[in-house]
Amino acid sequence: MRNKFDQQLFTLNQELIQMGVMCKEAIALAAEALTTGHTEAAHKVSEVDSEIDKQERDIESLCLKLFLQQQPVAKDLRQISAALKMITDMERIGDQAADIAEIIPFLDGKKSEECEPIQKMAEATIKMVTESIDAYVKQDIKLAKATVGYDDVVDSYFNEVKITLTRIIAEHSGDGEYALDLLMIAKYFERIGDHAVNIAEWVIFSITGDHKGKKL
């Protein structure tokens, strides 16, 4: 019975890794569309987001089977519970990448090269999502805590974005709408970073039973 349970836990890890890959792809496609000004990559984000939604349902179903059909011990319960929480944040990451993609056509072919910190934000959030999932699979509390701390980097880039966009508006008053669109995009990247933090905090819970300083 335990062997079957362990195999299902392994499957759960693989499915989470796949969902993480999809999230990274969605962010990368949104960033590509932002960099190039092309809408093809933006259109693909919606397709990936739909795949993420389906993956969330599949993982949720697997977790419920593990709860109902097996007899997990405390550590197993934490791991499965954490997975259920994590996929909610991962699904929202997909949604926010899709939100970014929806703004791209309104930029009228303009690129984001005038606001370099946005590209840095995209790279930083991909790193956070990747490492938060890696931390779960490896049960690496040090990596999870590093991911939580790395959110300060994303927040710092967000502040740089605001400063840069303020300068753009001051120097080119006709670019006000363009700057506001970029600010909204930066805000979505910042939220993606927050979701990666949530994932990492649930990883810490899965290992220690401690969530944000509270024992559960």
The count of residues in the chain is 216
- Model pLDDT for residues 65-107, shown as the tens digit of each residue: 888 876 777 888 888 999 999 999 999 999 999 999 999 888 8
Among 47, 157, 49, CA closest to 112: 157
Q: What pLDDT is attached to residue 213?
A: 57
For 83, the token pair is 């997975």
Ramachandran angles phi, psi of 210, nearest 5°: -110, 120
Q: What pLDDT is attached to residue 205?
A: 93
Per-residue pLDDT band at 137 (split at 50, 70, 90): confident
- Model pLDDT for residues 146-168, shown as the tens digit of each residue: 999 999 999 999 999 999 889 88
Residue 11 vs residues 4, 58, 63: alpha-carbon distances, Å: 11, 11, 10
Q: Would you say residue 201 has pLDDT above 60? A: yes
Q: Measured at the alpha carbon of residue 30, what is the angle toward residues 109 and 56, in degrees to the nearest 5? A: 150
Q: What percent of the chain has pLDDT over 90?
A: 60
Q: What pLDDT is attached to residue 53?
A: 97
For 88, the token pair is 């909610």
Strands (E), the chain: 210-211, 214-215
Q: Are 93 and 192 in contact (CB under 8 A)?
A: yes
